[in-house]
Amino acid sequence: MYDTQKNKKGKKIMEVILLQNVTNLGPMGEVVKVKNGYARNYLLPKKKALRANKENKILFESQRSVLEAANLEKKAKYEGISKDLAKKNFSLIRAAGDTGYLYGSVSSRDIADLLIEEGFDVNRGQINLKSPIKSVGIHNIMISLHADVSTTITLNVARSTEEMVKQDILGEHEEEILS
């Protein structure tokens, strides 16, 4: 069904044409070799790539200008969202012990839900969180909206609204001291 090859280690690989910029793979239009599973389970179903054969190369070249225009439109949309996100501070109230450790944790899903609640078009896959947040305090979180657009938001995790206000004030003073 798919034109597959094997790499030096004997793993099956496939050549694909990228239909959009893909982080850690390449820019739109580039022909790259990826593992079969990555292509079949992620790139092809999400319409991020086409199998690299003669027909698809011709098809891609005929649609290249349309795809580039759509990519620029998406990038402009996400740059606007990025600017709006950077202007705001976000807060979550969670139960925590006296030591400041949360009884649960704050995951990328929780952050995505908060951002959606605030009116931002973001999904949890765009939130770069190495591990769930497990302590109260102010946390900086990187959000990759597009392959070329990313921003950092400030999330204040607190036990109560009073603690949240105190942390916001302390956070502002720390920024003044550091400047």
What's the pTM value of the predicted model, to 2 decimals?
0.73
Above 80 in pLDDT, residue 171? Answer: no
Q: Where are the alpha helices (DSSP H) in 36-152?
A: 36-38, 54-87, 108-117
- Burial call 146-159: b when 16+ CB within 10 Å, e when fewer: bbebebebbbbbbb
Task: Say what the pLDDT of residue 9 is.
Answer: 64
Above 60 in pLDDT, residue 1? Answer: no
pLDDT digits (tens, 9 = 90+) for 129-139: 999 999 999 99
Using alpha carbons, select from 125, 128, 138 the residue that is nearest to residue 166: 138
Hey, which residues does 6 pair with through a beta bridge?
12
Using alpha carbons, select from 153, 149, 143 the residue that is nearest to residue 76: 149
150 near 141, Cβ under 8 Å?
A: no
Tokens matching residue 133: 């947040």
Domains of the chain and any CATH numbers: 5-63 (3.40.5.10), 82-178 (3.10.430.100)
Phi, psi of 137 (to 5 degrees): 135, -175
In which band, very low, low, confident or very high, does the pLDDT at 8 lie, cut at 50, 70 and 90? low
In which band, very low, low, confident or very high, does the pLDDT at 172 lie, cut at 50, 70 and 90? low
Tokens matching residue 132: 């769930």
Please report, for residues 12, 48, 179, the alpha-carbon distance to residue 85 in angstroms, rounded to integers and kept in the order given.
Answer: 41, 26, 22
pLDDT digits (tens, 9 = 90+) for 27-71: 888 999 999 999 999 999 999 999 999 999 998 888 888 888 888
What is the rounded CA–CA span in Å between residue 141 and residue 107? 11
Above 90 in pLDDT, residue 179? Answer: no
**Average pLDDT score, the chain:** 86
